[in-house]
Each structure stands twice: as C-alpha cells, then as structure tokens.
Amino acid sequence: MPEADKASLLGLGELLKETFATDLAAEAYCQPIEHGVILNFDQEVCFDLIGLKEDLTKGQRVAAFRLESYSQDQWQTLAEGTTIGHCRFVRLATPCHTTKLRLVVTQTRGAYVPIQIQLYTQAKTLQPPVIHRDPTGWVTLETQDEGKLFYQIDEAARQLYEKPFLLDHSARLQVSVVHPQLGELQVSRHFGELQQGWQITSQAPLAMLVGNLDSLLDENGYLVVQGETFACEIDMQKEKQLHGILIEPISRGEDIVYNAEKLAVYLSRDGLQWSQPYIYTLDNVAHLPNLRELALPGVQVARYLRIQIIQGLSLQAVGLASINVY
C-alpha cells in the first residue's frame, strides 16, 4: 500500500476515535413519551452527530421519525428521516446547543419499540479548498477554514495564494490549506487545455435533458442526453500532442445516476480518417464520480476528438460533466 494511502487511513482512524470517544447521551435522563423519548441534560450540551438504533430482534418498525431540540421555550426541528434499522447516523449541518433532545416516531410498522440514541461531536477537520478556473485561465482558490492557502503548479515552487493567478495550459495543480491547529490538507487537480475556440458537434439528433453540447467544454457544467448511448466530435482548432483525455463525471445532484461507465475515444488529424477506438472503463463511477485521467498509448497527434459513450449507469439517459485533453 502506498505511504500516502497508509497515512490517510491512519488519519481516518484517529478522526473516528476522536469523534466517538464520548457519548453525550450517556449523561442524560431519559423521559419516555408516547412514540418517543426526551433526553434531559443537567447543563447545555453541544453535538452535531446523532446515532439511532432499533432493536431488530423485534423487527424493523420505524417508518418515519423527527428529531427536535428545545430552544427559546419551544421545540425546534433538527432533522427528519424515514427508516432507522440497526444503526443510522444523522449529521447536523451546524452544532446543536441544547438541554433537551426529543425523538418522535411519527410512523411505525406495528407497535412502537424504544430507540437507542447516541450523541457525538464530530472531530474538527479541514475542508477541501474550492478550486475554480474561468474560461480564460484565471484560477481562484477559496477555503472555509481560517488557514492559509498554498499552491504548486507541476514541479514549480510552492507559493502562498494571495490573489487569482493565470493557468493557461495543461498542468497539475496542488493546493494546500494550512491551519495552525488542524494541520494541513492537500488536494490535487489536473487541468486540461484552455478550450477557447473549440467546437463540438454531434452526428445524430439529441434529446438533451440537462445542458447542451457546449456544457461538455465548461468545467462547471454538465450534459445529460436521453438514451443509452451518445457520441460527439470536438474540433480543437489545431493539432496537439496528446498524452491523454480528461473525463469528469457528474458529481452533484440527482443526475449522478446517468454517468457514463464505459466509453470509446477516437482521434483524427483531418476529421475524416479516424484512429481505432481506445476503450476505457470508469471504474466505480457510481460511488466515486471524480476526474479521470485516461492515458493514451504514447503521445498521439490529433486535431479532432470523438467521444462515444458505450455504456452508462442508467438505461434511460447518459451524461458527463466535461471533456478535455492533456
């Protein structure tokens, strides 16, 4: 196993140990109510992760529930959900400060059975920085944390980020957020060529459900097309030496289910004679819809690029977020 992966697993282990070290619900007085329970605390507690467990020896009975906290002399809804089962964790967007927590089971299959509740405070971690490059190549970086941002382009020296910088070519960008207490978090993104002037066409009429063809040349857009397959051709305006293709699956919203799973890449210097297809499979794209670097067999020279989706996760539609080259 690579050292970087080992470090990530060790870091995850420490994070889990810190998060689940103390169950705040253990200090509460439980007050049973009809179809639920109230946890009463002697003093205010703060938590942002709620664990719920059913006694499955009596069957899975909860069909809907609501979690509420007591604040300003009234109950306020924290979260709602459906099934619970053996174990379900409810993560709150913001920490809850309260002296009372109420669980109300609003719908059951059969008689109500008491639910076990656990309360935790998630260990503080750094959030990945946001990286954005506009169509002209200017890159901006943002972080939700109070740390400093650093960036490195390929093998160049690492620099402190103070203002947007120009990245008008294909390169690997490494960005780090450094926090005095939480340490350092590094992310990497491989940017392709600037696509100004590129033209994209399709040989067949398309029933586009989301976006349009130009969405595939937008690092912030995506395209979903009705049907099981899809093909398009891209004119890059001039010949380029290509090492590989950058394919970004759809990574947000409900349209993730339409991601391409298998595709073919064709190359051409004149748009008439095409290479044999290079076939790629986007492994585990249903659960890891991250940027894929599809390496070509050696350096290839081409002006035209044809992408054909052979298979998608869905039989109703197929989609991609963006296409580029490096």
Residues present in the chain in total: 326
Residues in the chain predicted with pLDDT less than 50, given as ranges, are none
pLDDT of the residue at 51: 97
Q: Give pLDDT tens digits for 91-138.
A: 998 999 999 999 999 999 988 888 999 999 998 888 889 999 998 999
DSSP state of 18: H
DSSP state of 315: S
* pTM of the entire predicted model: 0.68
pLDDT of the residue at 255: 94
CA distance 172 to 189: 6
Instruction: Report residue 62: phi and psi, to 5°.
Output: -70, 130
Per CATH, 19-120 and 199-325 having the same topology is answered: yes
Provide the percentage of residues in the chain whose pLDDT is more than 70.
98
What does the block give as tokens for 215?
């969405």
Per-position DSSP letters for 125-161, written without gaps between them: -PPPPEEEE-TTSEEEEE-SSSSEEEEEETTSPPEE-
Domain 199-325, CATH: 2.60.120.260
pLDDT of the residue at 3: 64
Domain positions in the chain are: 19-120, 130-191, 199-325
Q: Does domain 19-120 have CATH number 3.40.720.10?
A: no
What does the block give as tokens for 69?
């906290």
